[in-house]
Homo-oligomer: A and B are copies of this chain.
Amino acid sequence: MATFVPPNERNARSPHLPFGDHRGAPFYGKDVISVSQFSRTDLEYIFGVAKEMRAMVERVGTFDLLKGKILANLFYEPSTRTSSSFLAAMERLGGSVIPINEVRYSSVAKGESLPDTIRTLECYADVIVIRHPEVGSAEVAAKYSKKPVINAGDGIGEHPTQALLDLFTIKEELGQVDGLTVTMLGDLKNGRTVHSLSRLLSTFVVRLNYVSPEILRMPPELVEELKVKGVSQKEFDALEPVLAETDVLYVTRVQKERFESQDLYEKVKGAFVITPETMEQAKEKMIIMHPLPRVGEISMEVDDDPRAAYFRQMEYGLYVRMALLAMVLGKA
């Protein structure tokens, strides 16, 4: 039998946890699966690259760093925002994309396993981004793939690139992370984004305020986990007591479905809507963030307030994803 010569990058990858060594191209061939992979040094490295990406986009729009590289953008669940962001990130780096949004109609619907789908895509692509409804699916994909895998959300599990872009937004908007007071507002029980962000923030020196209805509190085990790491945390059921000291107000959606009764929902809802009046009590130098989409949690009248950072947040996401793609492909 003729020896099968594998394509250039095959088998060249080292295991994906943790990133560790920062000599050479430290993220080359690695997967991005969980926020727990990243040390503070890793984060600073990523944000350094993201900052360069931002400068280059602002100066020249796109550049050919990943020319000739192909991204398989594999979305088992629709997410226009996230898939468009990865697609744009790859295209701004001169790479190409295989967009796969119709998984429900495809081989998968014919019963194909995730490992088989991944092994097919790695024949065509140089890097795989995966969004999947099941917790742990990105880890499985990474295990079977010879090409780097980036987790774009695995159910109620992780969405590490969202947490990274959240942190990058804070750093870029406020200059630094250490010393800040971050107030998280809304549904803190079910919000994947606030869980991941609070874990990332725990590698910095911050004070965290949790403001939520009683039934939507931050999970006690997460509070305990951060407490062990020495993070200062406080819980509230209204924003007023902490707004004036807040540097970052991170707003999430309070979904009607989470409440047992419509009455209860209507009662608490109003307390968690940000309006221009709310902002009168806030610092002059602070930012409001939101993972989007929003459905009423922040009044549109707030959009023109320079402290409203939630649309800029999307843009920072582009730079962070550009950085990660370039890094795992060994080009940053």
Interface residues of A, Cβ cutoff 8 Å to B: 1-2, 4-5, 7-8, 57-63, 67-70, 72, 78-81, 84-85, 87-88, 91-92, 96, 98-103, 105-113, 115-117, 119-121, 123-126, 172-175, 285-287, 292-295, 300, 306-307, 311-312, 314-315, 317-318
Are A80 and B107 closer than 8 Å at their CB atoms?
yes
Are A100 and B80 closer than 8 Å at their CB atoms?
yes
A172 to B115, CA, bound (A): 25
**Extra inter-chain contacts (5) besides given A1-B285, A112-B293, CB under 8 Å:** A1-B173, A72-B84, A91-B98, A111-B295, A116-B294
Which B residues are CB-close (under 8 A) to A286?
1
A28 to chain B, nearest CB (A): 15
Which B residues are CB-close (under 8 A) to A295?
110-112
Are A8 and B311 closer than 8 Å at their CB atoms?
no
Are B78 and A106 closer than 8 Å at their CB atoms?
yes
Residue on B nearest A283 in the bound complex, by CB: B1
A81 to B121, CA, bound (A): 8
Instruction: Decide yes or no: A61 and B8 within 8 Å by CB, A70-B88, A78-B105 being known contacts.
Output: yes
25 contacting pairs across A/B (C-beta < 8 A): A1-B174, A1-B286, A1-B307, A2-B173, A2-B174, A4-B172, A60-B68, A61-B68, A61-B69, A62-B67, A62-B68, A62-B69, A63-B68, A70-B88, A70-B91, A78-B105, A84-B98, A84-B120, A88-B98, A91-B96, A112-B294, A113-B300, A116-B292, A119-B314, A120-B292
Which B residues are CB-close (under 8 A) to A61?
8, 68-69, 126
Which B residues are CB-close (under 8 A) to A103?
80
Question: Quick one: which of B63, B80, B311 contacts A106, CB cutoff 8 A?
Answer: B80
Which B residues are CB-close (under 8 A) to A91?
70, 96, 98
Are A81 and B287 closer than 8 Å at their CB atoms?
no
Residue on B nearest A91 in the bound complex, by CB: B96
Residue on B nearest A67 in the bound complex, by CB: B62
Are B1 and A287 closer than 8 Å at their CB atoms?
yes
